[in-house]
Structure 1
Amino acid sequence: MKRKILIVLLLALGFMPSQGNAPGKIKKKKIIVLDAGHGGKDTGALGKKAKEKDIVLSIAIKVGQYIEKNLPDVQVIYTRKTDVFIPLDERAEIANKNNADLFISIHANSNKSNKPVGTETYTMGLHKTQGNLEVAQKENSVIVLEDNYQSKYEGFDPNVAESYIIFSMMQNIFLEQSLNLAANVQNEFKEKALRQDRGVKQAGFLVLWHTTMPSVLVEVGFVSHPEEEKYLLSEPGQDHISSAIYRAIKQYLAELEKQEAELDSGLETLSYSTEKSQAKDSLNLQGDESITFRLQITSSTKKVMPNHPIFKGFNDVFEFYENNTYKYAIGKSTNYDEVKKLQQSVKNDFPGAFIIAFKNNQKVDLKQVLTP
């Protein structure tokens, strides 16, 4: 059970040193999974003429074409390219099996009223408003079309609000990256596609539940709004939406590449300095006890109690609050290599745990600490 929880809660930072661009290293080709929602027997939301499944498939393919044409170092994988039904858990599994760097699920919204209009982008989390819950319930209701859905999703009922309590603890270590990507998407929709911005939100979407990378669910507009339905059905409208998503992805990857390069530069400098001084394999930072290293294992927008199953077996859990997020780390040492060994020892349970640094109990940039 603990392992199942960890698959949801924890995975890697958006970058790792081994994936950077430092001399002598092979640049890792980024993998993006584009998920066109619904499909086949699941039409999704319906407008007067529009079917959600058709609109989002067209947009997803257009996004992929933009990426393939302009970003040669990025591989695109689609969960579907035709009108077929794909269970929600299989969509996430496609991304996980391919070790994707991003998962983007594309949907269209609807409402009982024909007044709501605009775009919104979600990350995984617990809904904060009734409206967010209703969007998640609508998108999750597709599971009733799947075989054995009650056992597959452990008794989850998409129409019962209490079922969504489980997502209060399902914030993963990619929360910040997911929020950054979501903000990029919404900014592009607002500034370039000139759509009404309904904001970045959180809710419990099953399609994001088991993804092991930064993930977002994009609602590209309301098919229940007459004018927006026409826009989403039009070729120019779909081009504007897809190009906005593409630019958001491009911006995110550019920021990620910059972070990777900076981290690799620091580690390369550290390696050179260590060899030059014929230092021991262990890095003690010349006895500077004001600098300590810890291993971050998870984060959450809600406070996690020390007795939560995720922390079982660890007595040194350290909590700190950063960017409106509670973050949790284990271990503490002035010796970087000791924490590196801890990282290796817990990698089965915490495959994405990463090392962070503190100076006088204040978090500091790891690269600056490691650079002589």
Structure 2
Amino acid sequence: MKNNIVLIIFFCFFLSINSYSKGEKPSKPFIVVIDAGHGGKDSGNSWHGFYEKHIALDIALRVGKALEKFDNLKVIYTRKTDVFIPLHKRAEIANDADADLFVSIHCNGHNSSAHGTETFALGLHRNKDNLDIAMKENSVIYLEENYEVTYDGFDPKDPSSYIGMTLMQEEYLDQSILLADFIQKEYTNKLKRVDRGVKQAGFLVLRETFMPSVLTEIGFLSYKPEGSYLKSNKGKEQIAKSIQEGIINYKNSINHDFSNSTKIVDETLKVKDGYNDNYQGVTFKVQIAAGSTALETAPYNFKGLKGIERQKENKLYKYYYGNTSSHNKGKEFLAQAKAAGYKSSYLVAFKDGKKISVNEALKSPKK
């Protein structure tokens, strides 16, 4: 019996050494922080008996549960119960975890018949409605002790406090907008919810994070039909699935695939000379920047890169480098963009003029 135990220990040790000898080190999981807005003494919006803090929490837990089924993905929640968490603590949770994404879930409210979904990245408000939403969400800091010190004198009611907030998240703006766009497309294309768009506004909880971050308003509790939908199990499940799939599509679009499909394609390309990786109707491009200003696409504006393409999507101009139906060539363009200084650039795919995930593009038939 003793000899058998020794043999088992030796065998396990041998497997461990053999694994490390091949350089097979466990990769860092992709970390997503799911933030259920409000909580505890902060109920958020409340209309017609619908409470934002409860609906946001229920949906956040459903999103996390769905994401936890994917390999090499870790979910962290800012809260899992009805408790009050200061805004800066929510951001600290994400920063301390070295998270890859931060998604904050909220419900809207307005003294009108307004309804629909909208998803925000950090930025200067483009209109009064965006500023009003940010001011309302940020006013929760009044419930925190010493908020003047914690937030360096930031006053949610003072418009001048919002000037310059974009600088805090500028490095992650492109990715944040991409994530917001994927989530909005799930709401509108699949659920047929009213699309209020991808927007920018000065949310404190986004300002404090150091990774791509969005705040998604999943609907208006003040509009009773929408509030009833969000409170129902069907509505919660559908909205949660949309957020989860938006996150997955974002993850896949930047070539962090959960499956082995992309890896298999890449390895095949390495071993088969002349392997055809051109896809029918698909165009791969590298998104290098996004902003509200329409820049001339001359090389001097883009660190010497030539052939820059500018496209307007909603109120933002997006700038792309490269144009190819080859996945491998697209990755070459990505390497060139990063070498030029666009460290946060990423590969995107279009099919018949419509943006799709890179993973979806790789499932298309070859030319």
Q: What is the distance in 2 between the residues matched to 1:207 and 1:31?
A: 18
Whether contact under 8 Å (2:108, 2:217) holds in the other structure is: yes
* Letter matched to residue 151 of structure 1: V
Query: In structure 2, the residue corresponding to 1:112 is in which secondary structure?
Result: coil
Match of 2:231 among 211, 230, 233: 233
Q: What is the distance in 2 between the residues matched to 1:238 and 1:145?
A: 28
Q: What is the distance in 2 between the residues matched to 1:125 and 1:180?
A: 14
2:29 counterpart of 1:29: yes
2:184 counterpart of 1:186: yes
In the alignment, what sits opposite 1:173?
Answer: 171
Offset, 1:250: 1.1
Offset, 1:325: 6.5
2:67 counterpart of 1:67: yes
Matches within 5 A, 1:272-351: 301=291, 320=302, 324=317
Q: What is the distance in 2 between the residues matched to 1:96 and 1:171?
A: 13
Matches within 5 A, 1:96-175: 96-113=95-112, 115-175=113-173
* Letter matched to residue 210 of structure 1: E
In the alignment, what sits opposite 1:49?
Answer: 49
Offset, 1:219: 0.2
Query: In structure 1, the residue corresponding to 2:219 is in which secondary structure?
Result: strand
Q: Compared with structure 1, are the counterparts of its residues 325 and 191 closer, same or farther at alpha carbon in structure 2 (3 Å cutoff)?
A: closer
Q: Cα deviation per residue 1:252-293 (whole Å; 9 max; x = unaligned)?
A: 11122358979xx79xx8xxxxxxxxxxxxxxxxxxxxxxxx
Whether contact under 8 Å (2:174, 2:290) holds in the other structure is: no
Q: What is the distance in 2 between the residues matched to 1:164 and 1:125?
A: 9
Q: Compared with structure 1, are the counterparts of its residues 39 and 301 closer, same or farther at alpha carbon in structure 2 (3 Å cutoff)?
A: same
Q: Compared with structure 1, are the counterparts of its residues 192 and 259 closer, same or farther at alpha carbon in structure 2 (3 Å cutoff)?
A: closer
Offset, 1:166: 2.7
Relative CO higher for 1 or 2, CA cutoff 8 Å, sep ≥ 6?
1
Offset, 1:156: 0.8
In the alignment, what sits opposite 1:292?
Answer: none
* Letter matched to residue 67 of structure 2: I
Q: What is the distance in 2 between the residues matched to 1:43 and 1:168?
A: 28
Q: What is the distance in 2 between the residues matched to 1:79 and 1:258?
A: 24
Whether contact under 8 Å (2:169, 2:210) holds in the other structure is: no
Whether contact under 8 Å (1:357, 1:366) holds in the other structure is: no
2:222 counterpart of 1:224: yes
Query: In structure 1, the residue corresponding to 2:98 is in which secondary structure?
Result: coil
Q: What is the distance in 1 between the residues matched to 2:47 and 2:142?
A: 22
Match of 1:356 among 325, 338, 353: 338
Whether contact under 8 Å (1:64, 1:76) holds in the other structure is: yes
* Letter matched to residue 75 of structure 2: V
Query: In structure 2, the residue corresponding to 1:174 is in which secondary structure?
Result: helix
Q: Cα deviation per residue 1:194-237 (whole Å; 9 max; x = unaligned)?
A: 21110000001000012111110000000010110111111101
Note the residue ranges of structure 2 that are not aligned, 5 or more in a row.
1-21, 271-287, 294-299, 311-316, 320-335, 348-367
Q: Compared with structure 1, are the counterparts of its residues 127 and 27 closer, same or farther at alpha carbon in structure 2 (3 Å cutoff)?
A: same
Whether contact under 8 Å (1:46, 1:223) holds in the other structure is: yes
Identity of aligned residues (%): 47
Offset, 1:162: 1.4
Q: Cα deviation per residue 1:158-192 (whole Å; 9 max; x = unaligned)?
A: 01111111314334211111111100000000111
Offset, 1:193: 1.8
Q: What is the distance in 1 between the residues matched to 2:289 and 2:141?
A: 28
In the alignment, what sits opposite 2:350?
Answer: none
Considering only aligned residues, what root-mean-square deviation do their CA atoms show, in Å? 3.3
Offset, 1:23: 8.2
Note the residue ranges of structure 1 that are not aligned, 5 or more in a row.
1-21, 270-297, 304-317, 327-353, 368-372
Whether contact under 8 Å (1:172, 1:299) holds in the other structure is: no
* Letter matched to residue 144 of structure 1: Y
Normalising by structure 2, we get a TM-score of 0.67
Query: In structure 2, the residue corresponding to 1:195 is in which secondary structure?
Result: coil
Query: In structure 2, the residue corresponding to 1:356 is in which secondary structure?
Result: helix
Offset, 1:27: 3.0
Whether contact under 8 Å (2:254, 2:346) holds in the other structure is: no
Whether contact under 8 Å (1:173, 1:299) holds in the other structure is: no
| Bigger shift: residues 196-205 or 159-168 | 159-168
Q: Compared with structure 1, are the counterparts of its residues 362 and 156 closer, same or farther at alpha carbon in structure 2 (3 Å cutoff)?
A: closer
Query: In structure 1, the residue corresponding to 2:110 is in which secondary structure?
Result: coil
Whether contact under 8 Å (1:45, 1:51) holds in the other structure is: yes
* Letter matched to residue 93 of structure 2: I
Query: In structure 2, the residue corresponding to 1:147 is in which secondary structure?
Result: coil
Q: What is the distance in 2 between the residues matched to 1:249 and 1:299?
A: 20
Normalising by structure 1, we get a TM-score of 0.66
Whether contact under 8 Å (2:251, 2:257) holds in the other structure is: no
Q: What is the distance in 2 between the residues matched to 1:107 and 1:23?
A: 43
Query: In structure 2, the residue corresponding to 1:137 is in which secondary structure?
Result: helix
Q: Compared with structure 1, are the counterparts of its residues 300 and 155 closer, same or farther at alpha carbon in structure 2 (3 Å cutoff)?
A: farther
Offset, 1:137: 0.5
Query: In structure 2, the residue corresponding to 1:173 is in which secondary structure?
Result: helix
* Letter matched to residue 45 of structure 2: A
